[in-house]
Structures are given as C-alpha cells and as structure tokens.
Amino acid sequence: MKNKVIVVGAISSYSVKHFYDAAIQLEKKPIFLFHKGHIPDSSLLEDGNYIIADGLGIEWIDQIMEILSSHTSHIFSVVPGGELAVPVTEKICAALDLPFNHGNINRFRNKKIMRDWLSEGNILQPAQYGTVSKQEDIPSLTGKLKFPLIIKPVDGAASFFVKKIEHEEQLSDAVDSIISHKISLATGIKFEGVALLEEYIEGTEYSAEVMVHDGACAGFYVTRKILSDEPYFDEIGHISLSPEYYPDKCKKLVDEVISTMQVTSAVLHIEFRQDKNGRLYLIEVASRIAGDLISRLVDIKHGCSLEEFYLLSRSGNEVRLHKEKRVGQPANCFVGIRFLFGEDVTVPEKFDVVQKDSAQKYVSKSERSPRNVVNRTGFIIFQSEDYEAAISFIKEGAC
C-alpha cells in the first residue's frame, strides 16, 4: 500500500506543519528527510516520521536511496520541502519512477542556467552582464556594466546577499560576501560561490504560486510582495490577492514559463516585477512551494492547499488531483502577513488578526541587512478590506 509521502529538506517548523497537515488530510503518513545538522524544532516530529542523511546534495543520492529503501514500496509521492532540496528530490523521484521534471536538474536552482533557459521563450527578463567567481573577474565586466545593477548568488535562497549596486566601488565587498559563502548549514549543500550581475528593474514585485500537472497550469494565485528599503531586497511581508488585482498578462507569463522551462509536475514560485509601463519582467523561477508562509495565505484567501496539490501531483494520482477547494475569502478581502523584527506593533482596528507568532527567534548577523530573514522575531497574519492600508501596515516594518 502506497501510504507514505516523503518531504525533503523542510527548513522551518511551519513548513513541517503545512506538509504534515496536508499528508494527514490525504490520509497519508508524512516522512521528513533532513540533513543531520538541521532538524526543525517541531512537536510534530517524532521517532518514525523523520529520517536523517549526511547531506541533501545530489552527491548524497546513493546514501539517501539506501536510507529510503525500507520505505520504497510504500512511497506515494516525494516533494521538496525547500529551495535547496529541489535537485536531489528530482533525483529521488526519477529513481522511484514518480513524476518529475526532465532536463537539466539545475535550471531551477542555478540562476545563470535559469536565465539561459528562459531566453529561449518569449519572456522579458533583466539584461545579464555576467558572472564573477573571484575579484579578478570584475575588470573584464566593467565596460558593459550599467548602474544601478543587481548582484546575487547564482544558487542562493531567501534573498541572501542580493543587493542593489549603485556604483563600481561597491562591487568588491558584495562579491566577497557571495564567493565566501560556501555551504548551507541547514542542508549540507555546497554553494558555488559565484555572483550573477544583472540589470536592475524598477517596479512593483509580485509572485505567482502556480500548480502544474501534466505540463499544464492547473491554477495559480498572485501574491504582492512587500520588500525592505534598498539596497537590500528582503521580504518583510506579502499580500494574497484576488484575481481582480492580478497584473495584466500574468497568465500569459505563467504559461510561457511552464512551456519554456519544460515543467511537467510542480508547484512553481514565479517572481516578477511590473514596471511603470505595465511590462512584466521575470525575476526568478523556483520549483517548490514558496516560503514565508505564502502557502498559508493562499489557503486562507483561496481555500486551496498547495501542499495537498503537490503531494497528489507528484504521485501521478489524477483521480483525486482536482478535489473541490474549500471556501475562500471574497474579492474585497486581502490576506496578508507582516514579519516582525522586535518592534512594538499596533494592528489597525479594522483588521482581523488570523494568527500571531512571536516565538520565532534568530540572532542578528551584522553582515546582513537589518530586515533579513535571520533577524525576524515573529509575524502577524491578518485580513483587511483595504488594500492600501494593508500595504502601509506591512511597510511600517521597513523602518
């Protein structure tokens, strides 16, 4: 009986809970696969429902398959629980003859490879200036750089080391930060230490949470992203929108990404910006459920569990795939989240607080921006009928 689902590399207790609840809803037993150096602090984890590997990079695939061997005949589906676990999850699915995305396994993780794939489609994206793996590479690019520009790791996550560079003198320190960051302590996955330099696109940032099955879009939901003050691009909050507030032509962008990236089965997290002329620029594509509790916002707003869909889609089980959604919120209701950074917060009286958590504690790291994920002290999930008020409430946290 195939009654187990494997979730690879969930980083937070929130991710564990969402996948755990989805598995139970589908009458399956969740099994979590973690790196030995990071097991989330969750009361849902107990002997028998999680296993540990020495690493979650693809170089550990043989050990991982050996660890999973006692479960193999019972595995219903396998999904990544976070960004860094995507490549090894695809390898596991291929080995178990479960649905996965064929082709270059790094196209959803390495942003340079991603840009190359996207360039084959009819998709607007920032101009690429090149990559840097050592300080000596910078002079060869300076002649074609246009400031301001964006620098980011080719294989980073959670906006770490993403920065707007205003002039050439700022490049050296930014490059040093990226090339010296060599390993993820949470997953044991090695970073390439390569910086990608690309055009800065000014505009409003969104993401599309996209359900893909059998190579086609089975539905998507758009999230307005609220970012910290530049030069950093840390996410300080999100708002799940009604279709009436989706940017024009975002469905066309979603379909083009699915086709160009040759996606067959996934939940995609597509980040894009809308400039002042209404044009949509593709920023990144991730083949996993968004972090930052965005799936929780989607569930509240639209009555759809992205985790349930992912577990079903990756099983190839089409009979139960398109199950009826739960009741969502009306069009004029906006469901948002504001992340906290130790400040005192007064929630507007006209807002409804859905969930508040102040237990999440991190140690501030001086080399990172003040509103980076490692400095969060909690969050507030709320509902509001006033879109602009919701944006303003989140932006208070940027100060």
* Average confidence score pLDDT of the chain: 92
**pLDDT tens-digit series, residues 234-252:** 999 999 999 999 999 999 9
Confidence of residue 364 (pLDDT cuts 50, 70, 90): low
Residue 116 has pLDDT above 90, yes or no: yes
> Pick the residue with more confidence: 233 or 21?
21
Residue among 27, 29, 26, 55 nearest 44 (CA): 29
How large is the average pLDDT for residues 3-16?
A: 96
pLDDT of residue 369: 78
Worst-scoring range by mean pLDDT, 115-119, 272-276, 393-397?
A: 393-397
**What is each CA distance from 180 to 132, 154, 176, in whole angstroms?**
12, 13, 6
Confidence of residue 359 (pLDDT cuts 50, 70, 90): low
Share of the chain above pLDDT 90, in %: 83
Confidence of residue 34 (pLDDT cuts 50, 70, 90): very high
Residue 345 CB coordination number (10 Å): 13
Strand-pair category, 163-165 with 149-153: antiparallel
Q: DSSP per residue over 247-287, as a string?
A: PTTHHHHHHHHHHHTT-SEEEEEEEEEE-TTS-EEEEEEES
Residue 321 has pLDDT above 70, yes or no: no
**How many residues does this entry show for the chain?**
399
Residue 107 three-state SS: coil
CA 40 from chain center: how many Å?
Answer: 18
User: What residues are paired with 212 via a beta bridge?
Assistant: 217, 266
Sign of the alpha-carbon dihedral angle for 381, 385, 391, 395: negative
Residue 19 has pLDDT above 90, yes or no: yes
Confidence of residue 324 (pLDDT cuts 50, 70, 90): low
**pLDDT tens-digit series, residues 302-315:** 999 999 999 999 99
pLDDT of residue 159: 79
Residue among 262, 260, 261, 280 nearest 272 (CA): 280
Q: What's the CA gap between 216 and 258, in Å, rounded?
A: 7
Q: What's the CA gap between 339 and 301, in Å, rounded?
A: 18
**pLDDT tens-digit series, residues 136-152:** 999 999 889 999 999 99
Q: What's the CA gap between 138 and 172, in Å, rounded?
A: 8
Residue among 11, 111, 9 nearest 58 (CA): 9
> Pick the residue with more confidence: 180 or 362?
180
Residue 1 has pLDDT above 90, yes or no: no
**pLDDT tens-digit series, residues 59-68:** 999 999 999 9
Q: DSSP per residue over 292-357, as a string?
A: TTHHHHHHHHHS--HHHHHHHHTTT--TTTTPPPPP---TT-EEEEEEESS------TTSEEEEEE
Q: What's the CA gap between 159 and 175, in Å, rounded?
A: 15
pLDDT of residue 322: 52
pLDDT of residue 320: 60
> Pick the residue with more confidence: 330 or 81?
81
Residue 319 has pLDDT above 50, yes or no: no
375 in Cβ contact with 362 (< 8 Å): yes
